[in-house]
Homo-oligomer: A and B are copies of this chain.
Amino acid sequence: MAKRNFSSKRNAIYNAVCSTDTHPSARWVYETLKPSIPDLSLGTVYRNIALFKDEGKIRVICNINGEERIDGVTSPHSHCVCTCCNSVTDVDDNAQNSDDYPAPAKLGFTVKSRDIIYYGICAKCSERLPH
């Protein structure tokens, strides 16, 4: 039997993560919800994010400047990380359409998931900066 969910704050946190494509940090979620839920505690945000991770409802994308960035979309796709503005954006990558990874398998490594991250400069930063 699935665990029931008694908590409106938990829902709010999950919805906040899922309703953005910014791949937010825990602090972003906290600061975003705080105005509409004034008695929200940062600990609650961390606690529930940890819960969602365990449940597989969200995934960790990367760690930028010591902050973990998460994603509510768990279907396979890749990410672009801008080393200038620290934005994390989605990118559909044909390379993702595979379940077979011969190179790790050859080493006896059982692949559960694969992450591809492109590091570089996003479109906005390219425009803004001198060429």
Which residues of A line the B interface, CB within 8 A? 62-63, 78, 80, 82-83, 89, 91-95, 101, 103-104, 107-123, 126
Contact = CB atoms under 8 A, between A and B. Distances in A.
Given A63-B63, A95-B95, A83 B103 contact: no
Number of identical protomers: 2
B104 A118 contact: yes
Contacts of A80: 104, 107, 109, 111
Contact of A121 (B101, B110, B116, B122): B110
A78 B115 CA distance: 10
Contacts of A115: 115-117, 119
A62 B96 CA distance: 20
15 contacts: A80-B104, A80-B107, A82-B109, A91-B107, A92-B103, A93-B103, A101-B118, A104-B120, A109-B120, A109-B121, A110-B120, A111-B120, A113-B119, A115-B115, A117-B117
